[in-house]
Amino acid sequence: MKKMLILVLCAAVAFGAAAQELTVATYNIRNANNGDAARGNGWERRCPWVCSLIEFHGFDIFGSQEVLDGQLHDMLAQLPDYGYIGVGRDDGMTKGEYSPIFYKKERFRLLDEGHFWLSEVTDRPNRGWDAALPRICTWGHFLDKKTKRRFWFFNLHMDHIGVQAREESAKLVVAKIREMCGPREFVLLTGDFNVDQNNHIYTTFTTSGILSDSYETAAKRYAPNGTFNSFSPSLKTDSRIDHIFVSPSVRVHNYGVLTDTYRTETEESAGEIKSGAFPKEVSLHSYEARTPSDHFPVVVRLEF
């Protein structure tokens, strides 16, 4: 009887630990545009692969970037288990790119939400400092129904041109987190920051005392590439410009850059390729490898 009780208690502890694990991601899906479509990377082709990747890897909650209104609704149609928060950056409603937060509706309760522009004027659409475009940060306050933990989630896309805009945006986001979130509350910050781990702006987050880079704190890492690929699976970079920052007290088990690809037909696809390395009844065909976006998604598994 004593042995049985010990086994039951151990099982309960193991189940409780597993239930606390959370899969968090950031994914710049690339805006839908005619130029990409002409080069074979149109959104209609990519969307099913983007959504399949998200579903297969089991993202519980994730930040996305460059999401136009039509793309947002395409994703929601193919990912019915997810809700979202966020607005278009051009008008605060549906125009321009969103930086939305997607979350599993059954697992999380949305307690509060909002957004602010990365600018000197944070409460309405505008361009800040030397930015080329309006930039926005979306935030949500969530309750994890499984663990009864509350946490804050921020998601952004910093400017790709304005150096001052990136510097000031980083300072603004850190200040907002300090202002909005209590010192003992859990915070997750995801996004396309357009600065890599060697840039001094990156250290605005890592030296803040309230955020750590999940890459650095992860117990296990799988990062065969950086996070930008320019729609070419053959390119390699060590730069990570898409980041997941977490409160220092958050335990990060795994960190990964997902370099998934899909295949499209070429003129040579009809021909069979045979080899002595596999059975004669098996054949291969020449297809072109493509990436679902010009950024690779970053995913972490963590617990509070």
Spatial separation of the C-alpha atoms in residues 38 and 196, rounded to whole Å: 30
Which residues of the chain fall short of a pLDDT of 70?
1-19
Q: What is the per-residue pLDDT for 37?
A: 98
Q: How many CB atoms lie within 10 A of CB 240?
A: 23
Q: Is 76 left (phi over 0), alpha (psi -120 to 50) or beta?
A: alpha
Residue ranges of E strands in the chain:
22-28, 61-65, 82-85, 101-104, 108-117, 136-144, 149-157, 186-192, 212-213, 220-222, 242-246, 251-257, 262-265, 272-273, 284-285, 287-290, 298-303
Nearest 5°: the CA angle 59, 22, 250 is: 130
Please tell me whether residue 153 adopts helix, strand or coil conformation: strand
Residue 101 has a CB neighbour count (10 Å cut-off) of 26
Task: Map tokens 């729609």 to a residue.
Answer: 231
For 1-10, b where at least 16 C-beta lie within 10 A, e where not — what string? eeeeeeeeee
Q: Closest Cα to residue 55, out of 37, 77, 70, 38?
A: 77
Q: Are 289 and 233 in contact (CB under 8 A)?
A: yes
HSE on the CB side for 87, CA within 13 Å? 17
Inter-axis angle of helices 43-56 and 69-78, nearest 10: 50
Asked: is 19-262+294-303 a CATH 3.40.50.720 domain? The reply is: no
**Torsions phi, psi of 217, nearest 5?**
-95, -5
Q: Which amino acid is at 6?
A: I
Name the residue type at position 73. H
pLDDT at 20: 82
Q: How many helices (H) and strands (E) does the chain have?
A: 7, 17
For strands 272-273 and 284-285, give the pairing.
antiparallel
